[in-house]
Structure 1
């Protein structure tokens, strides 16, 4: 069958525009409950939704009715239903890294303070200007850093004549070296994917 369960509610512009928000979506097949949480609080719910989630091959954001216009700082998928208390705690610690950086910067405030031993990957967005060195707080003995992308943060075409963004290891810590020239004093968003070292070979074999 190609049918699926769904709950929906029209969001007001004031619910999401111009600010960071934490959305969480849960489904309990046993009880038939589906819930949507906005910033740790129940925003919408439905019952009688007991179709199993099986044979899922891909996940898409912002497609079908229109594209998503915005940025995503974190995306996590769990194999169980989180409680409202757990969602509220995740909302508190998953703050996006938006502090502008112009020199060598300690970015430890962008890292979750919860136990990360069970998280195979972490996704971070740093905002930079000029030629900073970002101190990520991620240990090279535990993590591998991969540059996932960058964005000028402006709709107009960027004017950078030279741009280099490179992860390096210094003092056993991953740091991001940025060389941004002729950027017209604009801030850049740099996305970094951190993969636990014991998962690197697994991911490499998966994509071969």
Structure 2
């Protein structure tokens, strides 16, 4: 076993129930030492400009990889950052973010090396999650002509990660929540990003939309009067 793996294993072994609580106390002490009013500001309310829809993967913390603070990003995470129109949890988060918090950006962020996307590429049963991952297989079906031409499996994996984020953003754009906000003149943009675990860098997929004019006509809805 290499030194890096040993160091990683030792760190994980030191993370215990009690160490988490102690870690919280240490963080509070350090934070107050640097900024005595930090928690007073947090307790006063939140006004985040961004809703982040990302993967539950423990290696992709929204605040840390964007160098932002608590209160800057409203976060929803699920396995493989899937966006579907039947997920009431996600839709509730989106509705609250857009209509109450008035966020200016909604970002669907996938990540290379995503285990959920990789599982969706295969045919092995995993369990209940197979039904969730079916949504990613639908992304493959939509883009099968492109994906089937990619012979390198690693590149195909990466491209499906990208397309999953892009389709997720498109699904956000087509919701009545976002379209009603646009119709009301609200400042709101939707984006698709992909994060690299190997480099720590985020890639913009360049599929942003800031009005209904940016989406496919088939998804456009007339606003309620």
Q: TM-score, normalised by structure 2?
A: 0.28
Report the structure, 1 or 2, having the larger strand content: 1
Which has the higher relative contact order, 1 or 2, with Cα contacts under 8 A spaced 6 or more apart? 2
Q: TM-score, normalised by structure 1?
A: 0.29
Report the structure, 1 or 2, having the larger helix content: 2
